[in-house]
């Protein structure tokens, strides 16, 4: 490390691996970061090292980090969120893996994300999209819109967290590691029960074939080694084929793939002749907007969405104000 950077040694983790990228993965898993975060951080660190001709990050400092971040912004023209993710990956590498606290890292400017008005579908447009989906894709889309869930919250839904009697769903380990309770739409009861019935057939097949249990969160797999084989922990939206766990290399039943659903959703939007750039997350935006439109208290919507701060939920009131036409345009007062 360059002397002018004045690095301060912090507690360095003890790793089993000697290779830097493997150490990065070890620390990410130790801290229970998601697989998607692991893949992203590994990608950015590899890209950073290649950008500097395979030099070890210990030998690089503020100038090199800023040069790389400038390259991402100017040459590759990455989005603000992507730029912030790359910076987070480098901060994690230096502070959590290399055990080096760099004073200048606190001075690195994080791009401020621009506030965007979310894309929201009308009720008629939601109905049109749902009408062009079939099978589990229609059930999943209905769940995202009916409960305001994020895509991965729906895909990772476990059987034990669906309470048909009380008509509620417990969303576990959502964004920020929080749990929350959402309503289970009455109109979705039969379809969701049928989805669980199909999933149960796969679970029974796996037990007969002695397939390892589904992935368990964090250390529960060690604490309760058989829990992953129980019906309660099985996926509501289980993948039809077995796949290899990218971390443990265990061949097991994974939940349905997000890419498959995203393709089906995009096709449904196009078939419905909707020109808005709608994605599965648009269903969550539409859920919140339509609840507020119906007079639901904003604090209730905040809790259903799992927002820590009500100011995050307030973005939907902007959509409503414009859509409601509360302020007349001066053009309408002209006699044309």
Alpha carbons 62 and 68: distance in angstroms, whole number: 10
H or E segment and range at residue 239:
strand 238-244
CA dihedral 86, 92, 97, 99 (to 10 degrees): 130
Alpha carbons 22 and 29: distance in angstroms, whole number: 11
Q: Which residue out of 281, 299, 318, 321 is catalytically annotated?
A: 281
Alpha carbons 282 and 303: distance in angstroms, whole number: 18
Two tokens, residue 202: 């796969």
Q: Which residue out of 138, 158, 284, 285 is catalytically annotated?
A: 284
Alpha carbons 156 and 213: distance in angstroms, whole number: 14
Known catalytic residue at 83: no
Q: Which residue out of 41, 94, 145, 316 is catalytically annotated?
A: 316
CB atoms within 10 A of CB 175: 13
Q: Write down the residue that tokens 């990455």 correspond to.
A: 78
Going by DSSP bridges, is the β-strand pair 251-255/238-244 parallel, antiparallel, or unpaired? antiparallel
Known catalytic residue at 218: no
Known catalytic residue at 158: no
Alpha carbons 180 and 189: distance in angstroms, whole number: 20
Instruction: Kindly tell me the sign of the dihedral angle through the C-alpha atoms of 45, 46, 50, 53.
Output: positive
Q: Which residue out of 150, 156, 255, 290 is catalytically annotated?
A: 150
Known catalytic residue at 281: yes
Q: Which residues contact 296 (CB under 8 A, 6 or more apart)?
A: none
Give the SS3 label for residue 34: coil
Alpha carbons 235 and 305: distance in angstroms, whole number: 22
Q: Which residue out of 29, 58, 110, 175 is catalytically annotated?
A: 175
Question: Taking a C-beta distance cutoff of 8 angstroms, is the pair 110, 86 a contact?
Answer: no
Two tokens, residue 259: 């890419």
Q: Which residues are catalytic?
A: 150, 175, 281, 284, 307, 316
């Amino acid at each position: 490390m360059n002397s002018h950077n004045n690095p301060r040694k912090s507690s360095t983790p003890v790793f089993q691996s000697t290779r830097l990228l493997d150490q990065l993965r070890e620390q990410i898993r130790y801290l229970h970061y998601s697989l998607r975060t692991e893949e992203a951080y590994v990608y950015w660190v590899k890209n950073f090292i290649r950008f500097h001709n395979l030099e070890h990050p210990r030998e690089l400092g503020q100038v090199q980090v800023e040069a790389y971040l400038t390259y991402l912004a100017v040459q590759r023209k990455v989005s603000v969120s992507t730029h912030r993710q790359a910076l987070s990956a480098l901060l994690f590498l230096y502070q959590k893996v290399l055990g080096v606290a760099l004073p200048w890292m606190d001075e690195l400017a994080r791009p401020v994300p621009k506030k965007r008005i979310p894309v929201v579908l009308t009720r008629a447009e939601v109905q049109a999209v749902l009408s062009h989906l079939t099978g589990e894709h229609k059930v999943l889309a209905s769940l995202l819109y009916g409960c305001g869930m994020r895509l991965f919250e729906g895909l990772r839904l476990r059987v034990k967290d669906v309470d048909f009697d009380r008509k509620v769903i417990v969303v576990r380990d959502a964004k920020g590691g929080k749990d929350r309770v959402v309503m289970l739409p009455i109109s979705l009861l039969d379809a969701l029960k049928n989805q669980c019935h199909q999933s149960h057939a796969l679970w029974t097949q796996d037990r007969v074939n002695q397939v390892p249990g589904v992935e368990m969160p964090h250390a529960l797999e060690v604490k309760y080694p058989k829990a992953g084989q129980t019906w309660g922990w099985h996926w509501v939206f289980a993948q039809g084929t077995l796949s290899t766990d990218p971390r443990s290399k265990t061949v097991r039943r994974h939940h349905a793939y997000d890419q498959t659903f995203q393709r089906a959703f995009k096709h449904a939007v196009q078939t419905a002749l909707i020109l808005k750039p709608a994605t599965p997350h648009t269903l969550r935006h539409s859920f919140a907007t339509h609840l507020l439109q119906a007079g639901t208290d904003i604090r209730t919507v905040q809790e259903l969405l799992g927002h820590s701060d009500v100011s995050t939920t307030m973005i939907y009131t902007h959509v409503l104000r414009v859509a409601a036409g509360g302020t007349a345009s001066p053009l309408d007062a002209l006699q044309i």
